[in-house]
Amino acid sequence: MTQGLNDRQLTVLRRICEPGEPVTSTDSHLANSVYALRRRGLVTTQWEGGGWTASATLAGREHVSRANDPTPTPSPAADPANAPTAGPTTDAAETTTAQEAARLIADLEQAGGTLRVPDPAPDERARLRRVVHSARAGGALPPGRRLSFTGRDRGDVVIQLLDGQRPSGAAERPTPIPVPDALPAEAVHATVRDCPLQVCADCRARALRILHALATAAEQQGMTVAPAAEERQTLVIASLGSEFPIVLTESTVEVPDLDSVEYAWQRVTEHTRAPSHKLDISLSYDWAQRGRRYQWGDRRRWRLEDRLPQVLREIQQRADAARDQRLAHERQELETKLAWHAAMDRARHDLVHSHRLDRLREQVDAWHEAVRVRAYCDALRQHLAQAPAPDPEARAVLEWVAWACAHADSIDPIPTHPRTPADPAITPESLRPFLRGWSPYEPKRR
Confidence band of 166 (pLDDT split at 50, 70, 90): low
- pLDDT score of 84: 44
* Cα separation values, 25 from 56, 110, 225, 276, Å: 15, 19, 46, 39
> What percentage of the chain carries pLDDT values higher than 90?
47
Residues 287-300 pLDDT 10s: 777 778 899 999 98
Position 398 scores a pLDDT of 92
Determine the angle formed by the axes of helices 86-110 and 122-137, rounding to 10 degrees.
90
The CA-atom distances, in angstroms, between 336 and each of 242, 351, 439, 445 are 25, 22, 12, 10
201 — pLDDT class (breaks 50, 70, 90): very high
Chain segment 117-153, per-residue pLDDT in tens: 888 888 888 888 888 888 887 767 888 888 888 887 7
Say what the pLDDT of residue 25 is: 81
The predicted-structure confidence for 324-344, as pLDDT tens digits, reads as follows 999 999 999 999 999 999 999
Rounded to two decimals, the pTM is 0.52
DSSP of 360-380, one letter per residue? HHHHHHHHHHHHHHHHHHHHH
Per-residue pLDDT at 78 exceeds 70: no
Distance of CA 444 to the CA centre of its chain: 24
Given a contact cutoff of 8 angstroms between Cβ atoms, the answer to whether 444 and 428 are in contact is no
Express each pLDDT in 403-421 by its tens digit.
999 999 999 999 999 999 9
pLDDT given for residue 73 in this prediction: 44
Question: pLDDT for 216-230, tens place per residue?
Answer: 999 999 999 999 988
Summarised one tens digit per residue, pLDDT across range 41-61 is 788 887 776 677 888 887 778
Report the pLDDT averaged over residues 207-220: 95
Give Cβ neighbours of residue 422 (< 8 Å, ≥ 6 apart): none
